[in-house]
Structure 1
Amino acid sequence: MPVINRAWLRAATALPVVSLALLSTHPVSAAEPAAPVDAPDAGSGLGDIVVTATRKETRLQSTPVAVSVIDETFRSNQNVLTARDLAGQIPGLYTPTTGITPLTNTFFIRGIGNSDPIFDPTVGVYIDDVYLPRAINGMSDLTDIERVEVLRGPQGTLFGANSAGGAIRYVTRTPGDTLDLRLDAGYGNYQTFNAHAYVAGPLVPGLLAASIAFAHDEHEGYTWNPSLRRRVNNQNTDGGRIKLVFTPSSTLKVTLSADGTVDHSQAAQYVATTYNATNPALSGLGAITGGTLFSPTQFSTFRNNVSYAGRYGINRSHSGGITGRVDYDLNPHLSIHSISALRGFDQDPVNYNNDGQNRLPYNSAQPRRIDISDNYIVYKQKSFTQELQLQGDWNRFDFTGGLYYLFENFRSNRIGYVTGLPASDTALPAAPFDQIGKTITRNYSAYLQANYRLTDRLTLTAGGRYISIRRAFDFQGVNYDLDGNPIDPTLYPQVRTGGAIPTLGVNVAASQVNFTNAGVLNRKTWHAFTPKAGLSYQVTPAIFLFANYSRGFDAGGFNNRALNVATALPYAPETVDTFEGGFKSDWFDSRLRINLTGFYNDYKNLQTSVSAFSPISGTYVSTRGNAPSAHTQGFELETSAQPVDNLSLAFNVTYLKTRFDDYSAPALGTIPAYNYTGKAFSGQPEWQYFASADYGIPISGVGTIKLGGSVNWQTSYFSDLLNSPQYRIGDKHFVNGFVGFTTADGRWDFTLTARNIGNAFYFSTLTPVGTPLRAGPFAGTQLVQGAQNAPRTVFFKVAYKY
């Protein structure tokens, strides 16, 4: 758990009490949720799934939102432990395995997301309706998660800013008056050991219930490092959650929860390979292993999941928070809800080498053994959110509205050491550069969404949210020598002109002299309105149609990766207008379920790296900015079937077409021209498929044998915006399987799971390291690096449930 200021702790603890004091109406009986027209029998076939994607409980098959649900049974059989394990299994969702720690998860839905966790996410992540402002230190383990809901498309009305791509909602279990005990432990290859525990039940029956969850997950590194002679990229995480539920009456419920996670896994190391356009025989080599960086004499043979990175990854990450929720029924038609949360995380430090290369002498002028790329990072964040929500339900009319406030203090300190490759045998490496930033964010929002049933089957939905986001940004850049000592420009005058500093063995760019952004516009406010309108129609009890228009909004911000004062600039908000329609259907007494959604997303000011005019330098600079326009379109097919009682089948298809409609700029000064118009987004496959089958063999009086398997496959995509052939990632496919046994009383469960049975290896991305080699027998060779997926894993688990 991070260290949390006591005043903050007292304030967060008092919030539920303050919220209770505001509720002056006398308690009356609770309102029952409205049932859909002629709902199918929940006990037959596939049965009903209840979701809260619209901030209230509804049947999945009558919810006018494209939403997928991952329940406990699927997670148990497939050994799904973290959100990364969901990659390829949910339509429209793509999760690259490129985070520098296991808890850093970046999500893409329908082609939209943010691969850089230092900036705002584009897919909102929520734990029990509490927003996580950063992708850094997200969910570690799904031990006490009742279900995971993946909402596709903009969720700006009910969930707010930074959910233009969609939202991922983790819904945790709620303790009650029944004892609920769940334990599991297992062991697998790569010395994998996982242990999870959950216990819930009444402390005072009918009045106070509690639950405790704990998770420990570890495995040795999946990647071999010959330079360090050890395995790297391991996992070692511990997490827990405590929840208290107080129900003094049938109309009032108070929930308090606290959670914390410790992550001491290794920071990621990437795998290196090469590309040579003029001499293909030099493509596909591994890391440089001999000579100098300027004139290498030897390359290693490329091997899957082998990294030569010269630094052992260090990661000390901690996250946690406390939440208070009050739910109160004012009368049979009105309820009020208060959700208060204080959260924080720190990574102190994360030190990783992401070039995949061993340390080598730079050249003759600097014979010291150094890395091509190295990073030393300290992140510290704390946030406070408060939401007051009012819900009403009368015969044909219901609504959800509220007020929302977020405060976030995000501090980043990144020493980025990217020397590149020497231009000559007398060149000096670039000096390590420290990017020290602090961003204060305040978000004020008000929202309302209502449904009016025009007939018993036809419903009109309309709503909107007004958002005001204020940000203050402070930034400082400092140059260092190779021993980590700050370079003082007053002691070394040549620094001011970008000259070499022979005594320190580094070179400082003229534009990168130590600076602060005190004279730059560093306070800004953005406003937005995100409307939604839709129609839904219950054609028959088993066929449901819906069509929606909605707008998403991602907040503007400042460049936390500025390389000089001219690039420490604000970037504009991103907006998307989405048109989608689809149907949800059950067939053959709910033995077959077919859901299909088609969509078109029109993006304005898509946030990315661009050339932008800097009022500081009076020139164009390369910075984080906005591509004027882009679009994505496609469809998502989600099917499941239970042809007989003991057989379950699933088949999902995602088609996604992405294009930049306007993304170009002419050359100006030192900034080269670029033209990405017409190019596909990087990192997004056009087709994704997922299929699974589970079969149970009952043995009378003994139990049930379980057999199952799944396969997910995706087509190729490009790692770069130019869609260059050398950065194309080929088709991928993974096959998983399990066999298990459940005792007749349902208490004991034994499962053997195998993931990536074919032991297939693929890069997630490919990124160039410096410029092509200029000298020696390997001249023209471009070093590239990237993360690779986990190898074949086999895991045996024993679980007990009472």
Structure 2
Amino acid sequence: MRPALRCTAGVAAVLLATPTIAQQSPQPPLPPLTPADGRASASEAGDAIPEEADAASSTSLGDVVVTARRRQERLQDVPLSVTAFTPEKLADARIVNRTELANFTPSLISITGGYPGEFAFFALRGQGPAFGSVPGVINYFAEVPALVGIDGRVGTFYDLANVQVLAGPQGTLFGKNATGGNILFEPARPTNRQEGYVQLEYGNLRDVRAEFAANLPIVADKVLLRVAGEVGRRDGYTKDVGPYFRGKDYDNLSYQSIRASLTLRPIEGVELYTVARYHHSDNNGPGTVLQQLDPSLGAPAAPAALLLPGFGGALAEQQALGPRRVAYDIDEFARTDYWQVINHATVALNDALTLKNVASYSELTYRYAYDYDATPLSISGQTSAVGAPTQAPTYFTEELQLQGRLWRDAVNFSVGGYYDRSGLRRDQGLYVIQYPLTAAVGPVRAIVDNRSRSHAVFGQATVDLGKAGLLPGLSLTGGLRHTWDETSTFTQIFVLPATSGTGKFDYTSYNASLDYAFADGVHAYVTARDAFKAGGVNGPVPVGSPFRTFPPEKLEDVEIGVKSQLRIAGVPTRFNVAAYRGIYTDIQRTTQEAIGGTILNVTRTAARGRIQGVEVTAGIEPLRGLALNGSYSHTDARYTEVSDATAGAILAGAAFPYTPKDKVTLGAAYRTDLGGAGTIALSANWAYQSRFSTAQNNLARVAYLPAYDTLSARAGLQGIAGSNLDFTLFMANATNNTFATGLQDLYNVGGGTVTYTYGEPRTYGAQLRFHW
């Protein structure tokens, strides 16, 4: 290959290896909450859940209502591994971003390396982001898959009814197939009460945030409006001390978000629920830190050690600075504009049948500049400060469901169809800096255009054999879904010819489960199911090559579990355990293949694997007002077979990505009434995560990120002197641990560097909340 083409190919390799431009094309009225929180109870937000006396009544282990099977059920009744966070739990653990949500969820991690932190991805049970395909974990907002969404970022956790994490393959009921699981963000819906709250926060790093919600029943039971929002500003905790941008701070916050929800009930049995939201952020970008630098970068043709002044001492200088001070040569920034409209139209055809349509449309415009090498040297990076935005996708979804009950509620079923389409509002791309090519020709322009369509038909039913008069306590569930996917790509980098291609795939997913209640509050289940991660196309590969397209991944698993909530010696307890084993086939990985006399990076079927593990959650209230809780997850994942010698060369013996073997959480909360003075509320939450790999193969220079732990605490007085005023002190990462949450490893793929993304230092402050 000629030198110019070799350099250009190096740019392409770095570009394709970097998740930032890989277009990762990547609910439901919930827990009963008190009017003081300004949120809807389950009965006001949708189908009523009877308030029955049970083991949890009048305790802090009360029922949480979830929608893991697209209908309202108590968390303890769902035969699946589900972790649910009420607004109180989100506040107690100081969960305000993706990393913190992952810290307190079994088997879930957040991937934050190689791009601005707010653009992170989730991985669950070893299933995470993958270049050229949809992610293994899908976010949902108000029952809509948010492949171009912003949920989980700072500034999106306000006025939520709850957050649910569904672990394991989700292939039959939800809009998109997900091999790892779904994360459901459910906003609080309008209620029939005049209520709301205003919350102000001030903390270190000049953290200033304001949050509000106002619920307005314009016409009782007919026209209900809710408006909520959040705005925040905070200084960054990583400072630039270099020659170009001295004094600039990274990892800062500057955002505003607003949401309006309207419920209309024009006639009996008809409800129109519409949500519109807008999110804007404009930050200084991430403070990633250089960890390793290849001394032979560019050799022998253009050795950086000779041609870049200061190259030889760059790594030592960064090590002397530590993890909170850096020096960059690219003016970093990250700017997001996102809006979405969602409509739920529900018609009760009769007492047993309901027709529901869920439609949505969203647009994202995302620009950023990022210094890959994290040095004051012009080695590698990207920017969209001029020209097209880095990303400008649009996303439309449409889902029609018929839900019903038969035979005196012995059968619950849902059938329907789903369609989505992702496109572009305008051209998207970026300018790439990559040594040594750009040292001669300047930043290289890249244009990236990815589009997709998907449609599916599905059906699922649960039969309660007890209600049918056959076997009391036994329920059976079965579901099928057939999906058709189409994806297309277009890429042009510098002077290389444009590449494009289209791939079409279809597949059938299934779900079958058995659930048996041994006694009130105790039941066991077994579930067998599968799900797929969509296939794709390698644009640069000629038509007719076996590597032109790559098929969908498949994960098929069996999960068994026990859920219990009861009193032991009069003490309320909750104990849930789930064990699973999954067979992972057609695993998509990137390899180098000789095609038409040229070495190309291609995504392809490369291996088979096995993922198995156990998840345990428990809670106890030993004293009235004192609640103790904890969780533990263990994940064992490995490759069991590689496709051929090419795949084996980079995968044999490689660590399986996104799978910390062990995660532990411990929490305690205490509430006591002080009479006229108010109610004391105290809480502390600790999370530990063992080391894990983000490497897709053995080409990675760094195999694992180190283990870490984090502690949060809150202390507050609620209802001060009988008023509607609450005051709270909070602290996150109380021990001020310095830990890496992600990395970008370009050492062996043309970039020559390894950089770390670090978690937040200790943060603390105070909140004042007024509710009515």
TM-score, length of structure 1 as denominator length: 0.81
Instruction: Check 1:32–1:686 CA distance in 2 against 1; reply closer, same or farther (3 A cut).
Output: closer
- Code of the residue aligned with 1:609 in structure 2: it is T
2:278 to 230, 244, 260: 260
2:490 to 471, 474, 477: 474
Q: Secondary structure at the match of 1:86?
A: helix
Q: Which residue number in structure 2 is paired with residue 182 of structure 1?
A: 197
Instruction: Check 1:646–1:298 CA distance in 2 against 1; reply closer, same or farther (3 A cut).
Output: closer
Q: Report if the CA contact (8 A) 2:293-2:747 is conserved.
A: no
Greater shift after overlay, 39-48 or 333-342? 39-48
Deviations 1:590-631 (A, max 9, x none): 7111111111111111223223564xx266632222323112
Q: Secondary structure at the match of 2:76?
A: helix
1:326 to 340, 345, 349: 345
2:717 to 719, 728, 741: 741
Instruction: Check 1:647–1:430 CA distance in 2 against 1; reply closer, same or farther (3 A cut).
Output: farther
Q: Distance in 1 between matches of 2:360 and 2:734?
A: 42
Instruction: Check 1:449–1:232 CA distance in 2 against 1; reply closer, same or farther (3 A cut).
Output: same
Q: Which residue number in structure 2 is paired with residue 12 of structure 1?
A: none
Q: Which residue number in structure 2 is paired with residue 787 of structure 1?
A: 757
Q: Report if the CA contact (8 A) 1:709-1:737 is conserved.
A: yes
Q: Distance in 2 between matches of 1:718 and 1:611?
A: 21
Q: Which residue number in structure 2 is paired with residue 436 of structure 1?
A: 447
Q: Give the superposition deviation at 1:716.
A: 1.6
Matching of residues 649-798 of structure 1 within 5 Å: 649-663=628-642, 665-666=644-645, 674-720=649-695, 721-722=697-698, 726-743=702-719, 745=722, 747-770=724-747, 783-798=753-768
Q: Which residue number in structure 2 is paired with residue 15 of structure 1?
A: none
Instruction: Check 1:187–1:397 CA distance in 2 against 1; reply closer, same or farther (3 A cut).
Output: same
Q: Distance in 2 between matches of 1:83 and 1:665?
A: 37
Instruction: Check 1:148–1:417 CA distance in 2 against 1; reply closer, same or farther (3 A cut).
Output: same
Matching of residues 508-657 of structure 1 within 5 Å: 513-517=495-499, 522-559=501-538, 569-588=548-567, 591-612=572-593, 614=595, 617=596, 621-657=600-636
Q: Distance in 1 between matches of 2:602 and 2:427?
A: 17
Superposition RMSD on alpha carbons, in Å? 3.2
Q: Which residue number in structure 2 is paired with residue 223 of structure 1?
A: 238
Q: Do residues 398 (structure 1) and 412 (structure 2) align? A: yes
Q: Give the superposition deviation at 1:412.
A: 6.6
Q: Distance in 1 between matches of 2:274 and 2:139?
A: 20
- Code of the residue aligned with 2:209 in structure 1: it is N
Q: Distance in 2 between matches of 1:746 and 1:346?
A: 43
Q: Distance in 2 between matches of 1:375 and 1:123?
A: 28
Matching of residues 58-137 of structure 1 within 5 Å: 58-98=73-113, 100-114=115-129, 119-134=133-148
Instruction: Check 1:719–1:292 CA distance in 2 against 1; reply closer, same or farther (3 A cut).
Output: farther
Q: Give the superposition deviation at 1:309.
A: 1.9
Q: Which residue number in structure 1 is paired with residue 362 of structure 2?
A: 343
Q: Report if the CA contact (8 A) 2:114-2:742 is conserved.
A: no
Q: Give the superposition deviation at 1:437.
A: 2.5
Q: Which residue number in structure 2 is paired with residue 352 of structure 1?
A: 370
Q: Distance in 2 between matches of 1:642 and 1:152?
A: 26
Q: Distance in 1 between matches of 2:476 and 2:142?
A: 27
Q: Report if the CA contact (8 A) 1:215-1:240 is conserved.
A: yes
Instruction: Check 1:36–1:600 CA distance in 2 against 1; reply closer, same or farther (3 A cut).
Output: farther
Q: Distance in 2 between matches of 1:638 and 1:724?
A: 34
Q: Report if the CA contact (8 A) 2:150-2:156 is conserved.
A: no
Q: Give the superposition deviation at 1:210.
A: 0.2
Q: Distance in 2 between matches of 1:322 and 1:312?
A: 34
Q: Secondary structure at the match of 1:552?
A: strand
Greater shift after overlay, 745-754 or 438-447? 745-754
Q: Distance in 2 between matches of 1:32 and 1:731?
A: 43
Q: Give the superposition deviation at 1:723.
A: 9.1
Deviations 1:212-263 (A, max 9, x none): 1111122111211111222212111111111110123442211112111011
Q: Give the superposition deviation at 1:768.
A: 4.1
Q: Give the superposition deviation at 1:113.
A: 0.7
Q: Do residues 381 (structure 1) and 411 (structure 2) align? A: no
Q: Distance in 1 between matches of 2:571 and 2:458?
A: 36
Matching of residues 156-305 of structure 1 within 5 Å: 156-227=171-242, 228-230=245-247, 231-274=249-292, 292=309, 295-296=312-313, 299-300=316-317, 301-305=320-324
**Number of equivalences:** 698
Q: Secondary structure at the match of 1:524?
A: strand
Q: Secondary structure at the match of 1:378?
A: coil
- Code of the residue aligned with 1:439 in structure 2: it is N
Q: Distance in 1 between matches of 2:161 and 2:315?
A: 53
Q: Distance in 2 between matches of 1:303 and 1:170?
A: 37
Q: Give the superposition deviation at 1:374.
A: 3.3
Deviations 1:47-102 (A, max 9, x none): 21111110001111111111111011112233322333212101121113337345
Q: Distance in 1 between matches of 2:742 and 2:276?
A: 36
Q: Distance in 2 between matches of 1:206 and 1:537?
A: 39
2:326 to 307, 321, 341: 307
Q: Report if the CA contact (8 A) 2:233-2:254 is conserved.
A: yes
Q: Distance in 1 between matches of 2:513 and 2:445?
A: 49
Percent of aligned pairs with the same residue? 22
Greater shift after overlay, 141-150 or 307-316? 307-316
Q: Distance in 2 between matches of 1:746 and 1:99?
A: 48
Instruction: Check 1:760–1:74 CA distance in 2 against 1; reply closer, same or farther (3 A cut).
Output: same
Instruction: Check 1:523–1:289 CA distance in 2 against 1; reply closer, same or farther (3 A cut).
Output: closer
Q: Distance in 2 between matches of 1:446 and 1:323?
A: 21
2:474 to 430, 437, 458: 458
